[in-house]
A and B are shown apart, each in its own frame.
Chain A
Amino acid sequence: MLNEERVILMTRMAAFEKSEGKKNRDLNSYFRGDYVGYNVLKSVISATIAYLIMVAAYVLYNFESVLSNLYATDLIATGKKILIYFIIVVGIYSLASYIIYSYRYARMRKKMRAYYGDLKTLQKMYEKE
């Protein structure tokens, strides 16, 4: 016999699994620290690349003045300035991505908890039979 209630529950769970479950399951295989850390690391890398591109664009943009003042500039001071800006940019960007990915992980856990709750209900239904 078909248990209607069970079919409804299973359908809901299958629909969840199909739409969000896969993404959430991938996420769920990480510990919170690992997941957030991994993504912040990716953010740091992409911010570094973006920063390098921005510096290159800046040089290209001010090509003439950079070229003509090349020997007059204090290279160490310029290097320091570039480094300080780099730390600021990467710092802010990493912090933002830390907040975003922590929030995403928390949201995913909440959804997975509801899913596990459904699983338990399903198990109880089987035990009743």
Chain B
Amino acid sequence: MTSLLEARQYVKQFYMKYETIITYVWKFFLALICLGLINSELGYHSTLNNVLILLMASLLCTILPTNFTVFMSTLFILGHLYKLSIESAAAAFIVFILMYLLYFRFTPKDTLAVLLTPVLFAFHIPYLMPVALGLFSTPLSIVSMTCGIVVYYMLTYISGNATSFGGSDIQESAGQFQAIISDTIGNKQMLAMIVAFAITLAIVYFIRRASIDHSWEIAIIAGCLIEILCILVGELVFESQISFVGVIFGTLISGIILKAIQFFAFNLDYTRTENVQFEDDEYYYYVKAVPKVTVSTPERRVKKINRSQATKSQSTTRSTSSDRTMRDLDN
């Protein structure tokens, strides 16, 4: 446990020191993974499949705001679908434009949830999403998450029925458009997922906000259990053919990942180092304001010596040093 805490401290310090670079790296890989997934799942447009274009687009996403990654992903999806058939591109375009026009005008920051949900679906751990959003966001994110789920199922449907697209006359196209919309909306597995995820997110949020000890841990565990339960009920109600072993394993893995995130990143969101510049009549100030969490590191180093002392002179100093260790661990 002690070495884990030290590891956390190390990670924290590392993050605070190289925050800018880490942000760029994480944005680059996020874009690369998203666009690469789109290419591997859809991949109808040979130009977009080009590795150089993929890298260039990812690099562009790295230097521009995160929302540009969402925009770029949308462009890639539409490009691929347009190559496949105009009606599938039209269906996707309508879904995207309605999302942007009606919802993301209000919460531009939430677009990341839309992007990450299909990505996690592709990695078979979408169960991570509702619990994570419940922990780090608000119940409003249900809408973004639902959008992400709809996008994923629509794209899966299109890529699964790719051969049936590409009609010549307008009536055939209209029929295909109708099939895409009605099969996506009527997808019972999707409905079950949306309902289960929405319930999970809301419950996790309320437990996390409750003023009880260990609310985060309780929220994660309860969230995972509720999620499994909801999907099971959804499976019974909608007969949605969800692999139940997959759900349990996926949720377990999600829970472990979340616990790791919580352990390492608990403070990172709230306390970040501020680099500010200002001046008054006499001075220029270049201030680096470091949050106080880091100050506790030297104390932790002392704790190591205490432990070795405790093992050497067992009877005399044991109680005091172990008390101190416990206190340090609590900190």
Is this pair of chains taken from one and the same complex?
yes
Q: Which of A15, A61, A64 has the most CB of B within 10 A?
A: A61
B174 touches A50 (CB 8 A): no
The answer to whether residues A18 and B276 also contact, given A7-B285, A50-B97, A61-B178 and a CB cut-off of 8 A, is yes
A18 to B101 Cα, complex, angstroms? 29
B283 touches A11 (CB 8 A): no
**Secondary structure of the A side of the interface?**
helix
Q: Which of A14, A46, A60, A100 contacts B101 (CB 8 A)?
A: A46
Q: Which of A2, A6, A11, A54 has the most CB of B within 10 A?
A: A11
Sort chain B's interface into a size bin.
Answer: 20 to 34
Say how far B211's CB is from chain A's closest CB, in angstroms.
Answer: 23
Taken residue by residue from 132 to 175, chain B's Cβ proximity to chain A (1 for < 8 Å, 0 otherwise) reads as 00000000000000000000000000000000000000110011
A76 to B283 Cα, complex, angstroms? 74
Instruction: Output the nearest chain A residue to B278 by Cβ-Cβ distance.
Output: A14
Indicate whether A42 reaches chain B with its CB closer than 8 angstroms. Answer: yes
Q: Chain A contacts of B101 at CB under 8 A?
A: 46-47, 49-50
Q: Chain A contacts of B276 at CB under 8 A?
A: 11, 14-15, 18
Q: Chain A contacts of B170 at CB under 8 A?
A: 63
B287 touches A14 (CB 8 A): yes
Instruction: Output the nearest chain B residue to A93 by Cβ-Cβ distance.
Output: B102
A43 to B105 Cα, complex, angstroms? 9
Q: Which of A54, A62, A63, A100 contacts B171 (CB 8 A)?
A: A63
A15 to B274 Cα, complex, angstroms? 7
**Secondary structure of the B side of the interface?**
helix
Q: Which of A34-50 contact B (CB under 8 A)?
A: 42-43, 46-47, 49-50
Instruction: Output the nearest chain A residue to B100 by Cβ-Cβ distance.
Output: A46
A50 touches B102 (CB 8 A): yes
The answer to whether residues A57 and B94 also contact, given A43-B105, A46-B105, A97-B106 and a CB cut-off of 8 A, is yes
Count of interface residues, chain A, beta-carbon cutoff 8 Å = 26
Q: Chain A contacts of B178 at CB under 8 A?
A: 60-63
A2 to B274 Cα, complex, angstroms? 20
B106 touches A7 (CB 8 A): no
Q: Chain B contacts of A53 at CB under 8 A?
A: 94, 97-98
Taken residue by residue from 60 to 83, chain B's Cβ proximity to chain A (1 for < 8 Å, 0 otherwise) reads as 000000000000000000000000
Q: Which of A7, A64, A100 contacts B174 (CB 8 A)?
A: A64
Taken residue by residue from 64 to 84, chain A's Cβ proximity to chain B (1 for < 8 Å, 0 otherwise) reads as 100000000000000000000
Instruction: Output the nearest chain B residue to A66 by Cβ-Cβ distance.
Output: B174
Q: Chain A contacts of B274 at CB under 8 A?
A: 11, 15, 18
What are 15 A-B interface contacts by the 8 Å CB criterion?
A11-B278, A11-B285, A14-B276, A14-B277, A14-B287, A15-B274, A43-B105, A46-B102, A50-B97, A50-B98, A50-B102, A53-B94, A61-B178, A64-B175, A100-B106
Q: Could you tell me which B residues sit within 8 Å of A by CB distance?
A: 90, 94, 97-98, 101-102, 105-106, 170-171, 174-175, 177-178, 181-182, 274, 276-278, 280, 283, 285, 287, 289
Q: A11-B276, A63-B174 are in contact. List 8 more A-B contacts (CB 8 A).
A: A11-B287, A18-B276, A43-B105, A46-B102, A46-B105, A47-B102, A53-B94, A62-B178
Minimum-distance CB pairs A-B, first 7: A63-B174, A14-B276, A46-B101, A50-B101, A15-B274, A14-B278, A11-B287
